[in-house]
Amino acid sequence: MSSGKFDFAMAIGGEAGQGIATPGDILARVFVRRGLHLYTYNAYQSIIRGGHIFLTIRVGEEEVQNHGDKLDLLLCLNQDTADRHVNLMGPGSSVVFNGDRIKVNDAQEGVQLCALPISHLTGGSRNRLIQNTVAVGSIMYMLGLDFQILEDSLKLRFARHGQAVVDENVKFAKAGYDYAIENFKPFEHPTPVGEKPLAVWSGNDAVAMGGAAAGVKFYAAYPMSPSTGVLHWMAAHARALDIMVRQVEDEIGVANMTIGAAHTGCRAMCATSGGGFALMTEAIGSAGMMEIPVVFIDVMRAGPSTGVPTKSEQGDLWQILGASQGDFERIIVAPLDALDAFNTMPELFNLVDKAQCPGIVISDLVIGEGRFSVDPDAINMQPVIDRGDIITEHSATNGYKRYLNTDSGISPRALPGLEGYTHVVATDEHDEDSILISDEFTHPHKRRMMVEKRARKFRNVTGMVPAPELEGPTDADVTIIGWGSTYGVIKEAIDQLAERGVTANHLPIKWIVPFKGDEIAEIVTSAKKTIMVENNYSGQFHRYMRSETGLSVDGHVRKYDGEPFMPHHVTDGIMEILSGATDIYVPYQEVIV
């Protein structure tokens, strides 16, 4: 973010069961309604009670796409949070905590310690979550915000619990607000007002909404974090949008049901994470063989196997590239942020319909569970829909050939049940008329013809996919290459590099397959220095780019500890690489979450 602009970050820490989400939601709503941009990241554990949860909320006048490098305010809901994080707070920051139960030690000079006498302010209330409401009241004053804004938000948040609950929360929030007036110093710069109110959504919400806008009428899933938010959104809106939603017993059933729905002509999709995707892969191959357009979504988490269920990683790329066996066509795309994820869904559905093949969306926890502000006017719920070469009405036929060997490789697709268009759909190899070649004898000429027919489809698809564009000056000192969710953090690192006297540009890769190798190679070979940023150990995208282009890069910034990049991780890594100190930089995670 540019200097001089409002850029504020706060964190709420506690244990699972302490109601951390509620103050986070209330404050997020306050910020976006003031027209401020926002990103939240929740570092949590895979337990229902206990552990350590750390929710970071970053707010700014300009677009925010990561949780940043610093904290201005820390709200401690338990002693563990204070012990872990207070020593990381710098001069000018503030720490808010329940002074009756929490002791704060090791704070740096210049950090304001805001101890709240919760028992006194609440009259000894036995509601252990009420400390959250008191703290939010204090924070509102410190941010220079009027109490009425918070009161309106509390009424909205607690209305479904009844008037008594609303009144209790308003009363104790006001107690915290008034106490802060008398005892705490507000931040130097009050919270500004943006141009217009914004909305807030998660990347999973955006994927689900994008699917709905694309015309999806069937969604299936087995809950698996961090993809479950897609199922939650779909289930919540299924009836209003006439979408059939099914929670299935396992991911094998999910994939097969979704392909079955897509076969009928219904736009269908499903979502999972890496372990569930592993179970889906044979079905994905069957969609490739049967040439059925269908969309699979992998919201990556740290692996392998169960891995770290609540942490993020870009570790599934090679699994997705090699999903199922044999050669077959699939389209793979890695959205860059939540809004891009929304816009990608109609684009992808149009492409898979035209190419009659499966499509795969690669997201991750950073995008999927991250919450982003968005301008509602930027959400187009009426995108262009293109179903490709599909037969929906009966006409005179002289023997329907479902897999006709065309110059484009794309065969006319008739919806099942249409009179005069009887055909076989199976996972075996087949002839043009859909008869299985293994039922007569495995005819080598027919097999070769069908493999080549399917492969030809991508000649057209490659032309339909835009090439990545270089962002920034073409004569930069260094070109940073990233894919998927590294987009936002690299953009901010470029600003930090400029402050250190290094000019950088950015080549963000979104479309993985088909891969625009010629265009990418031209940019990479023209760069003075190239550094790749990836959230995995082995440099999976670098290996893929090298396999497609024969090109390597001058250095790598990699992270694989489960937590997402901070901007300074990228900046520090690039400075180290440019100095010649290393060619692979792995940042140390300062914040213990």
Name beta bridge partners: 181.
none
**Residue 455: phi, psi to the nearest 5?**
-65, -35
Amino acid letter at 176?
G
Owner of token pair 């607690």: 158
Q: Distance between CA 511 and CA 347 in Å, rounded? A: 11
Concatenate the DSSP letters of all residues of 148-213 into one string: HHHHHHHHHHHGGG-HHHHHHHHHHHHHHHHHHHHH-PPPSS-----SS--EEEEHHHHHHHHHHH
Q: Output the six-digit token pair for 305.
A: 């196997």
In this prediction, the residues of the chain whose per-residue pLDDT falls under 50 are: 1-2
Q: Distance between CA 213 and CA 348 in Å, rounded? A: 12
CB contact set of 496 (below 8 Å; sequence gap of 6+): 567, 568, 571
Q: Output the six-digit token pair for 212.
A: 């709905």
Q: What is the pLDDT of residue 459?
A: 87
Other CB atoms within 10 Å distance of the CB of residue 407: 8
Q: How far is CA 227 from CA 64, 363, 586, in A?
A: 22, 9, 27
3-state secondary structure of 572: helix
CB 277 within 8 A of CB 222: no
Q: Output the six-digit token pair for 592.
A: 């213990």
CB 411 within 8 A of CB 356: yes
- pTM here? 0.95
Name beta bridge partners: 53.
14
383: cis peptide before it, omega within 30°?
no
Q: Distance between CA 151 and CA 175 in Å, rounded? A: 12
Strand order in the sheet with 504-509: 504-509, 478-483, 530-534, 555-558, 584-585
Residue-range domains of the chain with CATH: 7-183 (3.40.920.10), 200-378 (3.40.50.970), 390-464 (no CATH), 478-585 (3.40.50.920)
